[in-house]
Amino acid sequence: MGTGADPLRRHACDAAVNPIRRLHQQLARAVWKRLDGREERAFRPQWFLLAGLGGPELRCRPDPKTLSPILPPEDRFWADPFAWSRGASRYVFCEEYPFSTRRGRISVLELGPDLLPKGAAVPIIDEPRHLSYPFLFEYQGQLYMVPETARSRRVDLYRCTQFPHRWILEGSLMTGIEAADATLVEHGGRWWLFCAARHGKERINESLLAFHADSPLSDVWTPHKRNPLVRDYSGGRPGGRIFRDSTGALMRPAQDCVPRYGYGLVLHRIETLTPERYAERRIWRISGRTAGGWRALHHLDWHDGLLVMDAQRLIPVSAAQGADA
């Protein structure tokens, strides 16, 4: 990182942790883990995509039930969708996870006017390591991607050389950190990198940390003085691109991981963001069950009026195994 110090060092002003609340969350997760184990004996969880159009008035109150499902083949799942457009064409970049390889890769789907895929998903970054959460951003006329590579203990940066299929590795924004779901945003004259991370007592599914730099291409990121900003299973881990509402306020999607990973989504309005201070307020929350009767729902992205999300269903293990064969 170039700081010469532990990027996740604790500070006296760190976010307070409510031990009773965390205990209740941990107990709920433990109970549901046992229940899920029974449920999954004959079924396999499969993430799929949702897509739909909407105006600015829907940004802070999205309705997943109005979106069209985009189902993958039964031998894989699609998750963590990020939308992009070029001219009149719309694309969705996502994690594609073939069950046979047990390793995610980054693929892209081109959508037609009906918001259904025009063809099969095309792998664009496929490496001998797990990749997910293909966060996209544009800077100085170039399109970049920061996919999750947490198991490599790096936050890597890719640049698009031929849209949408060709990407090259530019380097690492940070190293020595098991960071998940890195999400960049410009605010207050600085670039901010939000992520979840596993370190000490913090766990990826409950944590939110922030770092800042003078450029999104920097390899020197300064930890926020209040890291971890959040320790809460019900709203810590990032759940998609940070965007602005109609008033210009920053809105942060996050995962609700109680009672299980990816159970639902929340939106926080970021009310204070400086190198010394952070404050956010929850304004919206939904679960997969209330959204459409799905098992889980854990990601949201807006781009040029296109809303994409993901949801999870159960499919018979026999069907998925048949597809694998």
Q: Give me the CATH number covering residue 181.
A: 2.115.10.20
Give the pLDDT confidence of 83-122 residue by residue, as tens digits: 999 999 999 999 999 999 999 999 999 999 999 999 999 9
Asked if the model's pLDDT at residue 48 lies above 70, the reply is: yes
pTM for the full predicted model: 0.90
Of 131, 162, 160, 163, the closest CA to residue 147 belongs to 131
Residue predicted with more confidence, 201 or 222 = 222
| Cβ neighbours for 288, distance < 8 A, ≥ 6 positions apart | 262, 263, 264, 294, 295, 296, 297, 311, 312
Of 92, 125, 63, the closest CA to residue 304 belongs to 92
When the pLDDT of each residue in the chain is averaged and rounded to a whole number, the result is 90
State residue 17's pLDDT score: 59
Asked if the model's pLDDT at residue 5 lies above 80, the reply is: no
With respect to residue 6, please indicate whether it lies within any of the assigned structural domains: no
Give the pLDDT confidence of 231-287 residue by residue, as tens digits: 999 999 999 999 999 999 999 999 999 999 999 999 999 999 999 999 999 999 999
With respect to residue 172, please indicate whether it lies within any of the assigned structural domains: yes
Largest CA distance in the chain: 55
What's the one-letter identity of residue 8? L
Question: Predicted confidence band at 322 (pLDDT cuts at 50, 70, 90)?
Answer: low
With respect to residue 8, please indicate whether it lies within any of the assigned structural domains: no
Asked if the model's pLDDT at residue 157 lies above 50, the reply is: yes
CB 272 within 8 A of CB 216: no
Range of the domain at 253: 19-324
Cα dihedral angle (304, 108, 94, 190), rounded to 10 degrees? -50
Asked if the model's pLDDT at residue 7 lies above 50, the reply is: no
Asked if the model's pLDDT at residue 3 lies above 70, the reply is: no
Asked if the model's pLDDT at residue 207 lies above 90, the reply is: yes
With respect to residue 49, please indicate whether it lies within any of the assigned structural domains: yes
State residue 303's pLDDT score: 96
State residue 8's pLDDT score: 42
Into how many domains does the chain fold?
1
With respect to residue 9, please indicate whether it lies within any of the assigned structural domains: no
With respect to residue 5, please indicate whether it lies within any of the assigned structural domains: no
With respect to residue 10, please indicate whether it lies within any of the assigned structural domains: no
Asked if the model's pLDDT at residue 311 lies above 70, the reply is: yes
Residue 254 to residue 67: CA distance in whole angstroms: 19
Residue predicted with more confidence, 4 or 162 = 162
State residue 14's pLDDT score: 37
State residue 58's pLDDT score: 87
Residue 81 tokens read as 């969708």
With respect to residue 298, please indicate whether it lies within any of the assigned structural domains: yes
Of 266, 192, 264, the closest CA to residue 229 belongs to 192
Region 193-217 average pLDDT: 92
State residue 230's pLDDT score: 94
Buried-exposed string 249-274: b where 16+ CB fall within 10 A, e elsewhere: ebbbbbbbbbbbbbbbbbbbbbeebe
